[in-house]
A and B are shown apart, each in its own frame.
Chain A
Amino acid sequence: MIRHLVAGVALLPGITVMDAHADGDPARGEKVFQYCYSCHSVQPGETNLQGPNLQGIVGRRIASQEGFTYSPALRAFAQQEERWSKELLDRYLAAPYKVIPKTSMAFPGVEASDERADLIAYLRMTGAPD
């Protein structure tokens, strides 16, 4: 499905496949998302997992999913940083506990920068933030 989306994007005026790859490859990012899959969904409305839904996370306000119980650390972080920018997500995904030391998310992070870029590209394609 993702490959079809990429192909579609490439047909839009002013947007090329090369641009998509410079920012990461969403098709590869879908595979990287397997690191997140057990606790997070990108399907709209699927909010019954242990982590918040990540559909539209790029650009979304931090700790803003209604009804989700965020850790005290993440709520405090939301007072310092407003939104999940690409740059902030990249830093966070590299080592979540270094950006938010008391985060309750155990996942140690995605070490490879190209994998993080691919993952963020995939997350961007899941939708715009609310």
Chain B
Amino acid sequence: MLSASRSACAFLVFLAFTGSGHAQQSQQVFPLPEGAYPHDVAPAPDGKVWYSAQRNGALGILDPSTGQSREIKLGPKSAPHGVVQGPDGAAWLTDGGQNAIVRVDPQTEKVQVWKLPEDTGYTNLNTAVFDKDGMHWFTGQNGYYGRLDPKSGDMKVWKAPRGRGPYGITATPEGDVYYASLAGNHIARIDKVTGEATVIEPPTKGQGARRVWSDSKGRIWVSEWSAGQLGLYDPKTRAWREWKLPGDKPQAYAVYVDDNDIVWVSDWGADAIVSFDPATERFTSYPMSQADANVRQILGRPGEVWLPESGADRLMVIRTARQSQ
């Protein structure tokens, strides 16, 4: 149960004005149970929001309409890193602790577990995405990526080129799948037929490509942790662009592209979220709810950008005022 003080600020809403001066965003903060440690977040059916409660070995469920949250345990040794919503409306978690892909049915709350093959050992499962055909693709930071067919349960795992590093992963509208290699300082495109991953190197050496997200045109946006930059790779032209985030020592952790193709990046160096408008190439900064909030991933749905504040046991939402164009 939420404490009184936590409940009191459950509906804290404040406004932030963008640098461009023509849009107004509201931010709302939702306290979670102490120790929830939300690593990743995913919009869920019926307006709810899921989070991966990594230290509690659980799927968290927040109802933004009431501010109440609860957790569903995932199994022994569970430590989920990522969570996404599948095309079946279920929560799919990359569970490093169980070295398994885990599905939670939102209706029955039944937990299903697909262990990775024994011969992979501990893969340090990281993040997953569904492609347009409903296949589930995932990364393991110890140097693996893989694919699970949710219908048949067939799973394939491949060793990543250049070993450890696979982290964030994304699917383009056309169905292509790319992942970022943090330790490997590159992104890679997976050939979905052969399973082979092709390395694509950003211009900046040692940039620390951490997460990736596709925009509506299939262009790949990259959060470059070590370089503190936002990268953009256009598969059609194979051209790169990179922008340094504002501030003295930016650290670009998570990246997400919203329904208006505005790019969102969490910056640990500034304890802030920045949005980037590709049309104007301008950044706008939004403060987190406290210092060291440590937003490790971003995901949203039309009009909402959700931010898990792992260091504060809170979820934040930024409601975007822009209208679809």
Interface residue ranges, A against B (CB under 8 Å): 31, 34-35, 37-39, 48-50, 69, 71-73, 97, 102, 104, 106, 108, 111
Contacts and interface: CB of A to CB of B under 8 A. Distances in A.
Contacts of A34: 121-122, 124, 142
The SS class assigned to the A binding surface is loop
Among all A-B residue pairs, the 6 with the closest Cβ atoms: A38-B141, A34-B122, A108-B55, A108-B79, A38-B124, A38-B164
Contacts of A102: 292, 311
Given A34-B142, A38-B165, A50-B183, A106 B121 contact: no
B37 A97 contact: yes
Contact of B39 (A71, A104, A106): A106
Given A37-B124, A97-B37, A108 B97 contact: yes
A71 B124 CA distance: 22
B303 interface: no
Identify the interface centre among A31, A37, A71: most chain B CB within 10 Å of its CB. A37
A106 B96 CA distance: 11
Interface string B88-111: 000000000100000000000000
Interface of B: 37, 39, 54-55, 77, 79, 81, 97, 121-122, 124, 141-143, 164-165, 182-183, 206, 208, 225, 249, 268, 292, 294, 296, 310-311
Contacts of B164: 37-38
Nearest to A50: B182
Contact of A106 (B122, B249, B296): B296
Contacts of A31: 121
A69 B154 CA distance: 42
A71 B311 CA distance: 12
Contacts of A38: 124, 141-143, 164-165, 183
Contacts of B37: 97, 106
